[in-house]
């Protein structure tokens, strides 16, 4: 008489099969570490979306975001302790100093910095003789806020206004609230939070100058040794960009998860309204060159680059063929980016 298989036998077999399938799936996932600024920011939203919405996993990437200050991310990639970093200005400094790095995919295509002030300031000229809080010299906010004030309002740091450096944006908001400073460079997510607290967004640098922010780079050797991994990264970021353009509800959840200054759906929704059409996986040649040229100018001022030495071909620092061919193959729709509203 044939014995019927017992339920426990079936259960054990199913458990073993499930475990084997899970192990096979886990083996198929390629580990990848990407830097994340502490507390999150608006420039890197595509990486947050790609993680939370499963776009990395869909591409076979076991991706993780490692929270570090921006300078530490640069050091970590250069030392081999981090695979990639979305810190374009720090990468430019390293590249122009001789490091063998390569940019691989874009994120933000529009400057996201603001000059946020106390209510008593109604125009940039009102900041004459007052103090503005910015990040470290050479950082994107430092460069962009000063560039807009210089080019469009003929105001220069040290001469027309004072500058205090703050590493963190929440600290700048606190200093503004206490009137210790009268203006601050804040990214749009933090500026929206400050606005809800009674402060004022005086100007948006993106209305004056374009900027490729959050462009991701890795060591050139990593790109050359793992081109398939880089293609997966490009596809995941491109899918995240297209998702963020149209999916407000899902994007709000992602931003609330990763950008710690956001307190509620209203703030996240206001941020999405301003940023949803600001991202692109593509890296326009002119914006990419500007990353390196801006850093070259900073290095000249610091006597780290000869004033008469031209910028190398910027395209030599970008995996252009890999990026463009991957985006084309996946049917990626480029961002329709509006030109800055203001002009010189």
Domain 113-208 has CATH 3.40.190.10: yes
Residue 344 has a pLDDT of 53
pLDDT band at 20 (very low <50, low <70, confident <90, very high): very low
Res 279: pLDDT: 95
Per residue in 87-108, pLDDT tens? 998 999 999 999 999 999 999 9
Least confident of 202-206, 234-238, 317-321: 202-206
Domain covering 30-110+211-329, topology: D-Maltodextrin-Binding Protein; domain 2 (3.40.190)
Mean pLDDT of 329-335: 94
Tell me: the pLDDT tens digits for 112-157?
Answer: 899 999 999 999 999 999 999 998 776 778 888 998 999 899 999 9
pLDDT at 9 over 70: no
Q: Which residue has the higher pLDDT, 313 or 29?
A: 313
Q: What integer pLDDT is reported at residue 341 of this predicted model?
A: 66
Domain(s) labelled CATH 3.40.190.10 in the chain stretch across 30-110+211-329, 113-208
3 state SS for the chain: CCCCCCHHHHHHHHHHHHHHHHHHHHHHCEEEEEEECCCCCHHHHHHHHHHHCCHHHHCCEEEEEEECCHHHHHHHHHCCCCCEECCHHHHHHHHHCCCCEEEEECCEEECCEEEEECCCCCCHHHHCCCEEEECCCCCHHHHHHHHHHHHHHCCCECCCEEEEECCCHHHHHHHHHCCCCCEEEEEHHHHHHHHHCCCEEEEEHHHCCEEEECCEEEEHHHHHHCHHHHHHHHHHHHHHHHHHHHCHHHHHHHHHHHCCCCCCHHHHHHHHHHHCCCECCCCCHHHHHHHHHHHHHHHHHCCCCCCCCCCCCHHHHECHHHHHHHHHHCCCCCCCCCCCCCCC
- Supply the pLDDT for residue 39: 85
Q: What is the pTM of this model?
A: 0.82
Q: How confident is the model over 288-312, as a mean pLDDT?
A: 91
The answer to whether residue 243 scores a pLDDT higher than 80 is yes
Q: Is the pLDDT of residue 19 over 50?
A: no
């Amino acid at each position: 008489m044939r014995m019927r298989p017992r339920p426990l036998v079936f259960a054990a077999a199913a458990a073993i099969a499930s475990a084997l399938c899970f192990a096979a799936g886990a083996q198929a996932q390629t580990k990848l570490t990407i830097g994340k600024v502490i507390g999150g920011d608006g420039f890197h939203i595509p990486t947050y979306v790609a993680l939370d919405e499963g776009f990395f996993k869909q591409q076979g990437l076991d991706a993780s975001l490692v929270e570090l200050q921006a300078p530490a991310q640069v050091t970590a990639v250069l030392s081999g302790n981090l695979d990639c970093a979305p810190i374009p200005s720090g990468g430019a400094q390293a590249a122009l100093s001789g490091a063998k790095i390569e940019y691989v995919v874009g994120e933000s295509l529009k400057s996201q910095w603001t000059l946020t002030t106390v209510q008593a300031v109604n125009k940039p000229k009102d900041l004459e003789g007052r103090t503005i809080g910015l990040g470290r010299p050479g950082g994107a906010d430092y460069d962009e806020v000063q560039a807009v004030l210089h080019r469009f309002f003929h105001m220069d740091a040290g001469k027309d206004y004072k500058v205090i450096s703050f590493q963190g944006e929440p600290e700048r908001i606190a200093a503004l609230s206490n009137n210790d400073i009268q203006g601050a460079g804040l990214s749009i997510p933090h500026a929206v939070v400050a606005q809800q607290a009674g402060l004022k967004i005086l100007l948006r640098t993106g209305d004056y100058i374009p900027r490729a922010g959050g462009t991701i780079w890795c060591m050139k050797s990593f790109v050359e040794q793992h081109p398939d991994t880089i293609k997966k990264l490009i596809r995941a970021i491109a899918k995240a960009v297209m998702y963020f353009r149209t999916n407000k509800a899902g994007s709000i959840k992602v931003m609330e998860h990763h950008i710690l200054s956001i307190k509620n759906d209203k703030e996240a929704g206001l941020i999405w309204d301003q940023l949803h059409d600001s991202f692109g996986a593509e890296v326009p040649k002119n914006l990419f060159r500007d990353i390196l040229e801006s850093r070259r100018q900073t290095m000249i001022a610091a006597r780290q680059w000869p004033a008469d030495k031209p910028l190398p071909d910027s395209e030599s620092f970008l995996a252009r063929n890999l990026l463009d061919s991957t985006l084309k193959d996946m049917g990626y729709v480029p961002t329709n980016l509006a030109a800055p509203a203001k002009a010189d």
